[in-house]
Amino acid sequence: MAFTGKYEVASQENYDDFMKLLKFPADIVEKGRNAKVITEVTQNGNNFTWSQIYPGGKTMKNTFVIGQESEMETMDGKKFKATVKMEGNKIICDFPNYHHTSEIEGGNLVEISTCSGITYKRISKKLA
């Protein structure tokens, strides 16, 4: 499956501005700036398990089915319901405060989040 794999953050654009916009405290922004977050994706058809493992052991895990409402979790642990869509090769989800897309480009996981005119882009290289 296209998304299945384990990825490590390789680069980020507009991280600070985006996190400040979402009102993350300065110490959390500082910790996350150079953190080597690992994203693990398991895809079985339209069924996904999407985990982000942060240094120190904190894990955020979302399980969803494309086109069906699912309970999800934000970066700061808030629960919400969303229907994840697939458009072409992109997974699209509207989080409470931002619009998020994910796709595989050149073997890398490319995630783009947009809120109030600020676009945060994270590229993660495939590890396995």
**Secondary-structure percent of the chain, ordered helix, strand, coil, rounded to 5:** 10, 55, 30
Structural domains of the chain, count: 1
Q: Report angle CA 118, 122, 126 to the nearest 5 degrees.
A: 165
**pLDDT tens digits in sequence order for the chain, 128 residues long:** 699 999 999 999 999 999 998 888 898 888 888 889 999 999 999 999 999 998 887 889 999 999 999 999 887 788 999 999 999 999 999 988 889 999 999 999 999 999 999 999 999 999 96
CATH number at residue 9: 2.40.128.20
Token code pair at residue 76: 């700061």
What is the pTM (predicted TM-score) of this model? Answer: 0.91
